Structures are given as structure tokens and as C-alpha cells.
Chains A and B, each alone.
Chain A
Amino acid sequence: MMKRLLICTFVMLQTISAQADELIMVRSQQKFPEAMLTLQTSVKEHGYTVTRVQRIDVGLTGMGYHTDKYRVVFVAKPDEMHYLIKKYPLLIPYMPPKVSIFAENGESVLVTANPALFAKMINDEHDKAIFHRWQNDIQEVFDDVRKAD
């Protein structure tokens, strides 16, 4: 009994998964082109600029990858991004934030790193609030895509 208890304790100590909120990830029942349009529309409605859409899938299907629809969408608010990278240059490699969108089984999956992660990299509470607002915005954008018909 004691051994079993110790084993259970050991197991519980080992069970450290990544926290779910570090990545924001949703599935949309929209097909890829429609989901992509909904994403970009919602991003703009939330006041962000789409700075670039990067194709990731070039040549992948020829290598056996099972989707040929994969894009990375770069999004940012120019003033806020300029302010943040000027004050915190080490944020530069993560800017502008990106959203992955790819086709999956006739639907679409969207993934992004939770902007709140960036807040953990700085100390100023006022500036942390910017990232938390980005987090709320991206949640709303993702909800728009997830709920779109």
C-alpha cells in the first residue's frame, strides 16, 4: 500500500505538461480559403495590420506531406510593436507575432503563441497589459474563425 502511494506520488510529480494556455489553438469547420478570409477580416477589424502572408507548403506535398494549404500570417499594431521593440530589443526575434493556419481533414486549424508569454519576459506592468490585450484580441479573432459558418 505504501509502495503504491509512493508510486502515485512519483507519478503526480512527473506529470508536468505544458500549460494549455501557452498556445492558443482552435479548429474551424470552414475550409481553408474561407477560414483564411475570416481570419484576415477579423484581424483587421480588431485594429491589426497583416504585414505578410508566408507560404509554408511549397513543395511539401511532393515530399508526402498531407496538406498543401499552410500559411503563416504576420500581424501587428505598428505603433505598439515599434514601442515594445525599442524598449525591449530582445523581443525583436518574436515580432511581428504570427498565426499559423493550415488545412486539416477538410477543416482548418489555427495556432499561435499566446501573447501573454511575451509579458513574462518583461517587468513593467503597463507594458505587460499590452500583451494581455493582444491575448484577448487574438482569442476574439480565433473565436470569430471558430464560430464562422
Chain B
Amino acid sequence: MVRLFLVIGFLLLTATARAAVDGEELFARHCSACHGSNGNGGVGVPLALPSFINSVDDEYLSKTIRIGRPGRIMPGFVELDDAQVTAITAYLRSWATKPAPARDNTVVKGDVKHGQVLFSSHCAQCHGEKGKGGKGTGVTFSRKRDLPIIAPALNNPGFLAAATDSMIRNTVLHGREGTPMNAASKAGLSKKDVNDLVAYVRSFADAYQKPAYQQSGHQQQISQPTEEDAVIVMESPYSLAETVENVKLAITNQNFTLVRTDFLDHGLVTEGKENKNQVVLHFCNFRFLFDALVIDPRVGMFLPCRVTVVESAGKVSVMAINPLRLSKLFNNDELDEACKHMHEIYTAILEDAVL
């Protein structure tokens, strides 16, 4: 019997150890790209910062992993199973210097209107008007690294779903050591003031509105990808060669520079054997490129901009990626605006070329 307990105990220990190893591996695979190899932060929050990891409960972490931060790059990891999420949470917890706080779902009551006044004078400078987050929060890899963190978006539905009133209250009360976030007492705020602030932050759930461009029909269209809405395509009444020249002119008319023209299968077949009926025009506006990369450097995989002219069965078509479809991949509201602008540019170029 004792031996049986020993075996069970050994198996439990082994399983625990394996979970810890898996958590580290899962973190490296899914999280480190944004949060840094050692949790020191990057585009994502520095999870290893003691004043952060010591102050958040495990459910806050697991809900954040599951739900993400809509519109702020952090995706929802819905494909991970519960054991994997638990393993990642356990790995994050290994950076803590004291035990995790217990989840406290007590509702904090306060004066929302007074909280709003306090928020405007004490919090909005960093957290943005109506808690929309500091400029660049979670949206750029290329920001200067003179701050350990940029103030997160408190009005984000992912944050509001994961954080308890108690957690928000404690953060306001004690601040975040190692970040610009000071304790409430340093700002002369009373405990009642803090409760009012919590009530105001919680009220963001009532006020949250998706950006206007997500409220239109685009969102529904984007959420159900089809072959058609992934591309912008127009038929050309001109020959392939004429259409290519038209596209070149249209690119210039939109203040873009033609980078090069080649065939779609360039590099895949022996030079000279390419399919001459599939012509790719690459173009760029360096100011636009810079602005897009500063917002989100991941967009490089769809750069430089390109339009493809194809002749098949006597028909000439002009086609491009649909930036509105792609914007959903990045979960970045700021980038969505740029993608909407790029959609307009692509559409204008294609229309110019075929009219």
C-alpha cells in the first residue's frame, strides 16, 4: 500500500514537473515573441515585473490568455486546451516573488461621476481619454525602450473581463513599482477616491464601442472569409500589356513609386521560362511604409504593395490582396485604419487601370 502511494506520488511529481517544462515551452512558442524571451516585455507587458506578476491572480492571467485584448495585438489563444493555459500560467507564476493573490470578486462601489473627474486629472495623461490606452500601447515593436511599459487600455473588453474590481483597486492603491504608475497616496487620493476610480473604470464596459469601421458591414464580411473578399479583383477591357502600363500609371497617380515588375513565378522556374501572363507590379510609398511599420512591423509580410495582372482564357484581370480582410489577422485597431486607407488606394489603382 505504501509502495502504491509512493508510485502515485512519484507520478504526480513527474506530471507537475512536466507541466512546468511544458509551460516554459508553450510560453516560448506562443508568448515570447511579444513578451520577450524572459518575460521582460516588448510590445507586450513585462510579465516578469514583480509588481505586476505579484499582484495579479491566476484567473486574470488565464482569462487574458483565453480572451486576449481585442484590437490591441494580444490575440485570444482559443486553440490552447485548459491544461496548456494552466501550464503557461504556472510558468508565469514562477517569476513571482510571493504567492499569487486569491481571486476576489467583491464588487467595489463608488461614484462613477467623481471617478471620471479623478480619472481625467490623474490617469488620462497615461491611460488616455476614456481609458483607451497610451499612444502606442500594444501596437508597436519599434517604440523607444525608455519605458518598461506603456499604459494599457483600461477600456479594453479583454482587460475588463479578466480583471476584478479588487485587482484594479489594489493597482491604483499601490501603483506598479518599476513603472510610471504611482500609488494613489502619492497623488493625494483617499480610499473613497480609489473606489470611485474603480467604479469609473468598470463603467467602460457600458461605454465600449467598436471603432466605426468595425461597425459597418465590413466586420461581418471579414469574419467569414471567402475566396472573394480576400482579394480585390477587377476585369480589364484592355490587353495584358496595356493593363500593365495602366497599372504603372495608376500607381504613380497615387504617389507611389514602382519598385519593380516581374513575373509571379520568378525564382521558381528557370529564368526565361516564367509564365508571361502573370505580371506582378511591386510599389511603395516610403512615408506610408514607415508609418505602417511603426504601427505594426508585422505588416511587412504584405509589403511592398503589389498588384498582379493576369491573362487567362483571353480575359485580363487585375487583382490585389484585400487589406480589410488582412487587418483582422493583426488584431490592431490602429492598423485597421491604415488597412482601410490601403484598401481605398488599391481600389483606386485597380479602377484607374481598367477604366
Which residues of A sit under 8 angstroms from B326, Cβ to Cβ? 113
B319's contact among A22, A63, A90, A105, by CB below 8 Å, is which? A90
Q: Is A100 an interface residue (CB 8 A)?
A: yes
Once the chains bind, are A100 and B158 in contact (CB under 8 Å)?
Answer: no
Once the chains bind, are A113 and B301 in contact (CB under 8 Å)?
Answer: yes
Stretch at the interface among B13-21, B47-55, B70-78: B70-78
- State the interface size on chain B (CB cutoff 8 A): 76
Q: Which of B276-328 contact A (CB under 8 A)?
A: 278, 286-287, 289-290, 293-294, 297-298, 300-304, 306, 308, 310, 312, 317, 319-321, 326, 328
Shortest Cβ gap from B101 to chain A (Å): 20
For A70-105 the 0/1 string (1 means CB < 8 A from B) is: 101010101001100100111111111011101011
Which residues of A sit under 8 angstroms from B30, Cβ to Cβ? 20
Kindly report which residue of chain A lies nearest to residue B262, judged by CB atoms.
A52
A12's contact among B107, B161, B302, B310, by CB below 8 Å, is which? B161
Known: A82-B265, A88-B227, A92-B264. A56 touches B300 (CB 8 A): yes
Stretch at the interface among A3-11, A39-47, A129-137: A3-11
Once the chains bind, are B145 and A105 in contact (CB under 8 Å)?
Answer: yes
A76–B308 CA distance with the chains assembled, in angstroms: 17
Once the chains bind, are A92 and B310 in contact (CB under 8 Å)?
Answer: yes
Interface size class of A (residues with CB under 8 A): 35 or more
Which residues of A sit under 8 angstroms from B208, Cβ to Cβ? 11, 14
Once the chains bind, are A25 and B158 in contact (CB under 8 Å)?
Answer: no
Which residues of A sit under 8 angstroms from B302, Cβ to Cβ? 98
Which residues of A sit under 8 angstroms from B188, Cβ to Cβ? none
Once the chains bind, are B70 and A17 in contact (CB under 8 Å)?
Answer: yes
Known: A11-B205, A94-B230, A112-B301. A59 touches B286 (CB 8 A): yes
A95–B231 CA distance with the chains assembled, in angstroms: 12
Which residues of A sit under 8 angstroms from B320, Cβ to Cβ? 93
Which residues of B sit under 8 angstroms from A7, Cβ to Cβ? 202, 205-206
Q: Is A21 an interface residue (CB 8 A)?
A: yes
A49–B227 CA distance with the chains assembled, in angstroms: 25
Kindly report which residue of chain B lies nearest to residue A71, judged by CB atoms.
B300
A96–B287 CA distance with the chains assembled, in angstroms: 26
A49–B268 CA distance with the chains assembled, in angstroms: 7
Which residues of B sit under 8 angstroms from A70, Cβ to Cβ? 293, 297, 300
Q: Which of A18-54 contact B (CB under 8 A)?
A: 18-23, 25-27, 29, 49-52, 54
Once the chains bind, are B329 and A22 in contact (CB under 8 Å)?
Answer: yes
Which residues of B sit under 8 angstroms from A74, Cβ to Cβ? 267
Which residues of B sit under 8 angstroms from A121, Cβ to Cβ? 225-227, 230
Q: Is B81 an interface residue (CB 8 A)?
A: no
Once the chains bind, are B298 and A20 in contact (CB under 8 Å)?
Answer: no
Kindly report which residue of chain A lies nearest to residue B321, judged by CB atoms.
A93
Known: A8-B161, A25-B33. A15 touches B67 (CB 8 A): yes
B residues near A (Cβ < 8 Å) are 28-30, 32-34, 36-37, 42, 67-71, 74-80, 107, 141-145, 157-158, 160-161, 202, 205-206, 208, 210, 225-228, 230-231, 233, 264-269, 278, 286-287, 289-290, 293-294, 297-298, 300-304, 306, 308, 310, 312, 317, 319-321, 326, 328-331
9 smallest beta-carbon distances between A and B, as pairs: A51-B267, A17-B68, A18-B331, A14-B157, A17-B76, A20-B75, A100-B301, A100-B300, A78-B268
A residues near B (Cβ < 8 Å) are 4, 7-8, 10-12, 14-23, 25-27, 29, 49-52, 54, 56, 59-60, 63-67, 70, 72, 74, 76, 78, 81-82, 85, 88-96, 98-100, 102, 104-105, 107, 109, 111-113, 117, 120-122, 143, 146
